[in-house]
């Protein structure tokens, strides 16, 4: 179960170029494979013969095909000692091996080969014997040991998913969690509510606080309480306990009628929130932290404020956020095409919003072993409940994405807007991060499949900031952020000579790093505190006369469902 939790937590959904992936791109990749196969029958015959030879060896017990030691699907001893199971596994591995050799032999360019490889892997992963009761010895043992009850429970789980989860296999047991009671429990209040967002101010937990507050801008497709999951892994609580005046934006879940909300609207909301934070705290500066697509929004905000010569922005923290994407950064990036992006924009505009469930479903099928087949085996074949894990509860609590904002994110990806200096216009200005001079802290995750760390490192070259710090957390996407003190496995990498200018590339940076045991949070907190001004007496009340406290944290907008 712990392994299941970890694998899924490393693959939480996020915005990126994949929101522009269309079925035409996928079918196009399949069509290319079929075209190349038909163009040279002899090549197909050659690879068929090779697979046939492997099959003969398997039937005669002479095959030495074995799974990759990292392949967790075949760890049950039955795959090694049961002749029937061993043969079934080897047949599958023979097909896998044959498909890999066949793809390498096709006359494809690098991009087409990446597309073909990605699609074929999805298909072959779906054919794994472990995905069926007949081919899964662990499930068979469970059925015998439970007297068939595991099969009955599995059927019930499948029925519940068909009826209550729109046909998708459940990744989390939601029943134990209730917002405001055992998740998102830090004390605070909504001090500003608009059509687009709520601004939540959290109650200080120290007698003194730093004068410059911190505002967190969350992603638009996930809810803000990722920052306050539990007391043990709450970024909010950690900031409060270290004297930081803490504010978090909570985005409204858009409906079809709000599909016109675009990047300019979200940036205006961020500025409105910053101005409210400034007036509530009396500070002339507001530090900002943001992650994933929230980081793209914060970067757009910083560019706009620099263009307007607005100096309210203090220090800026960007976590697991890519501003300079490349098509091969992620495994499925090769599937995204210019035509597909245009189609995605048109379809989104027609619908008004992209439903959160649809985004989650599409994302899951791009990593089926981690996000689908693992759960099919656990929930249906073994008849067990999915894990009750707070990160997965949050990940399943998806929100809609307005069509206009989706279009803007795709435009940023297409044009590489953040890499240009004054060439791309959006949010009523020419985007130019070189004019942003705020001190900058950037975080990446070693095993992040969504925003790969080397892609996040490129952001260090985009800003006009003289003070840029890069930290690499030893974990995946959201787990890289939620890495609190006390985690025995936690470690991170920093540049040995912190005063030295960051090198041009991620590989050069890595050569000059040192590994530090423990959480990166204390390191970051020292960085934030040194840029948060002097200490003063903590406020006795939240808000002020102009911004009266409304509903208690985490607010009303996080309670809304798709």
Which residues are part of the catalytic machinery?
292
Whole-angstrom Cα distance, residue 543 to residue 541? 7
Closest Cα partner for 174 from 4, 388, 397, 391?
388
Whole-angstrom Cα distance, residue 222 to residue 48? 46
Letter string b/e over residues 276-303, b meaning 16 or more CB atoms within 10 A of that residue's CB = bbbebbebebbbbbbbbbbbbbbbbbbb
β-partners of residue 200 are 190, 248
CA distances in angstroms from 446 to 189, 220, 282, 472, 481, listed in the order given:
35, 24, 39, 7, 11
Question: How far is residue 293 CA from its own chain's centroid?
Answer: 9
DSSP 377: I
Whole-angstrom Cα distance, residue 228 to residue 251? 15
β-partners of residue 290 are 217, 318
Instruction: Decide: residue 141, CB within 10 A, 0-12 exposed, 13-18 middle, 19+ buried.
Output: middle
Report cis status (omega within 30 of 0) of the bond before 46.
Answer: no
β-partners of residue 179 are 183
CA distances in angstroms from 58 to 53, 74, 95, 233, 472, listed in the order given:
9, 17, 12, 50, 45
Spatial contact of 427 and 264, defined as CB atoms under 8 Å apart: yes
3-state secondary structure of 384: coil
3-state secondary structure of 560: coil
- Token pair in block for residue 477: 């996407």
Whole-angstrom Cα distance, residue 270 to residue 248? 10
Whole-angstrom Cα distance, residue 327 to residue 488? 35
* 338-351 and 23-39 helices, crossing angle to 10°: 150
Cβ–Cβ contacts within 10 Å for residue 369, how many? 19
- Token pair in block for residue 369: 């072993």
Whole-angstrom Cα distance, residue 244 to residue 206? 9
Spatial contact of 398 and 222, defined as CB atoms under 8 Å apart: yes
Closest Cα partner for 399 from 216, 224, 531?
224
Tokens 């789980």: give the residue.
Answer: 157
What lies within 8 Å, CB to CB, of 164 at 6+ separation is none
Torsion sign (Cα): 443, 529, 517, 231: negative
Whole-angstrom Cα distance, residue 158 to residue 375? 11
Give 407's Cβ-side CA count (13 Å radius): 20
């Amino acid at each position: 179960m712990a392994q299941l939790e970890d694998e899924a937590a490393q693959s939480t959904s996020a915005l990126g170029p994949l929101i522009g992936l269309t079925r035409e791109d996928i079918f196009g990749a399949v069509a290319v494979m079929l075209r190349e196969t038909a163009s040279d029958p002899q090549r197909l015959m050659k690879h068929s013969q090779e697979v046939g030879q492997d099959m003969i060896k398997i039937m005669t017990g002479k095959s030495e095909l074995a799974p990759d030691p990292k392949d967790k699907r075949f760890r049950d001893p039955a795959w090694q000692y049961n002749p029937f199971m061993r043969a079934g596994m080897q047949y599958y591995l023979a097909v896998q091996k044959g498909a890999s050799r066949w793809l390498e032999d096709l006359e494809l360019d690098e991009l087409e080969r990446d597309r073909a490889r990605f699609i074929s892997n999805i298909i072959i992963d779906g054919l794994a014997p472990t995905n069926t009761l007949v081919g899964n010895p662990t499930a068979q043992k469970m059925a015998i040991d439970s007297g068939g009850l595991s099969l009955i429970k599995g059927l019930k789980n499948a029925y519940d998913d068909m009826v209550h989860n729109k046909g998708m296999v459940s990744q989390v047991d939601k029943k134990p969690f209730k917002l405001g009671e055992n998740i998102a429990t830090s004390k605070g209040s909504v001090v500003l509510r608009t059509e687009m967002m709520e601004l939540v101010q959290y109650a200080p937990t120290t007698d003194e606080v730093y004068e410059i507050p911190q505002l967190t801008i969350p992603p638009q497709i996930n809810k803000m309480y990722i920052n306050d999951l539990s007391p043990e892994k709450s970024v909010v609580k950690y900031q409060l306990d270290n004297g930081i005046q803490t504010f978090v934006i909570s985005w409204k879940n858009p409906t079809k009628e709000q599909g016109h909300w675009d990047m300019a609207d979200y940036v205006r909301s961020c500025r409105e929130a910053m101005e409210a934070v400034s007036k509530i705290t009396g500070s002339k500066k507001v530090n900002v932290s943001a992650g994933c697509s929230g980081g793209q929004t914060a970067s757009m905000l910083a560019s706009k404020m620099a263009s307007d010569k607005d100096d309210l922005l203090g220090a800026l923290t960007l976590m697991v956020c890519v501003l300079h994407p490349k098509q091969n950064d992620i495994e499925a990036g090769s599937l995204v095409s210019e035509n597909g992006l245009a189609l995605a924009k048109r379809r989104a505009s027609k619908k008004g919003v992209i439903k959160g469930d649809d985004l989650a479903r599409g994302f899951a099928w791009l990593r089926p072993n981690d996000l689908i087949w693992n759960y099919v085996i656990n929930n249906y074949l073994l008849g067990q409940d999915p894990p009750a894990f707070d990160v997965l509860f949050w990940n399943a609590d998806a929100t809609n994405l307005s069509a206009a904002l989706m279009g803007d994110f795709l435009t940023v990806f297409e044009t590489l807007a953040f890499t240009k200096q004054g060439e791309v216009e959006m949010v009523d200005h020419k985007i130019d991060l070189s004019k942003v001079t705020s001190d900058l802290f950037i975080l990446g995750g070693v095993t992040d499949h969504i925003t790969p760390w080397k892609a996040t490192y490129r952001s260090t070259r985009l800003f006009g900031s003289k003070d840029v710090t890069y930290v690499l957390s030893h974990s995946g996407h959201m787990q890289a952020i939620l890495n609190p003190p006390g985690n025995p496995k936690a470690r991170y990498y920093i540049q040995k000579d912190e005063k030295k200018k960051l090198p041009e590339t991620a590989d050069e940076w890595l050569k000059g790093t040192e590994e530090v045991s423990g959480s990166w949070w204390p390191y970051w907190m020292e960085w934030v505190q040194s840029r948060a001004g002097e200490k003063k007496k903590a406020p006795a009340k939240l808000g002020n006369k102009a911004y009266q406290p409304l509903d208690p944290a985490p607010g009303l907008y996080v309670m809304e469902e798709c």
